[in-house]
Amino acid sequence: MDGRATTAEKARPRERGSVALLAVAGWAVPGAAHLWLGRRQKGLVFLIALPLMFAIGLLLNGRLFPFEPSQPLVALAAIADVGLGVPYLIAKAFGLGAGRVVASSYEYGNAFLIVAGLLNSLVILDAYDIALGRK
C-alpha cells in the first residue's frame, strides 16, 4: 500500500454532506481529511507537522489572539489561530497562548501560531478539492 487513492477514488465526487463533514474533520484534526480520503502520506505529514508548528509557537511565547472586532488585525490573527481546530481548543482550555510581549521570541511565536492555522485552512481546501474530484 502506498497510501494513495486509486484513480477511481480520485475521480468520484462525494456528496455535499459528506464533503462538509470532511471539512469539519480536517479543521478539527489537521490531516484527518486527507487520511479519510486515502491520502495517507499527506495526511500523516499534516497531522505531525501542523500541531508541532503550533506547539513551537506556544513554546516561543506566542499569543492566541482574542476576537476583537475593534482591532481588525487582532481579529484576523484570531481567525487564523482558530484554523488549527482541536489543538487550538486544547491550548485555550489549558490557558496557554497568553503571550509574553517582552520575550524576544514573541513575534516568532505569533508567526508560528498564525501560519499553522492558515496552513491548515489550505489543507482543508485541498481536501475539499480532492473530495469533489477536482484533483
Partner 1 sequence: MTHFLLLLVFAFFVSLAFAVLMRDEPREQLRTGGMLFGAFVGAALILGWLMYPLPI
Least distance from partner 1 to the Cβ atom of residue 84, Å: 12
Residues that bind partner 1 (CB under 8 A): 4, 41-42, 45-46, 49-50, 52-53, 56, 60, 104-105, 108, 111-112, 115-116, 119, 122-123, 126
Q: Which is nearer to partner 1, 28 or 52 (CB)?
A: 52
The dihedral built from the CA positions of residue 20, 21, 26 and 28, taken in this order, carries a sign that is positive
Q: Which is nearer to partner 1, 74 or 115 (CB)?
A: 115
At residue 63, φ and ψ (nearest 5 deg) are -115, 135
In angstroms, the CA 130 to CA 19 distance is 10
Is 73 in contact with 63 (CB distance < 8 Å)? no
Least distance from partner 1 to the Cβ atom of residue 68, Å: 26
Q: Which is nearer to partner 1, 68 or 134 (CB)?
A: 134
Q: Which is nearer to partner 1, 60 or 78 (CB)?
A: 60
Least distance from partner 1 to the Cβ atom of residue 105, Å: 7
In angstroms, the CA 22 to CA 20 distance is 5
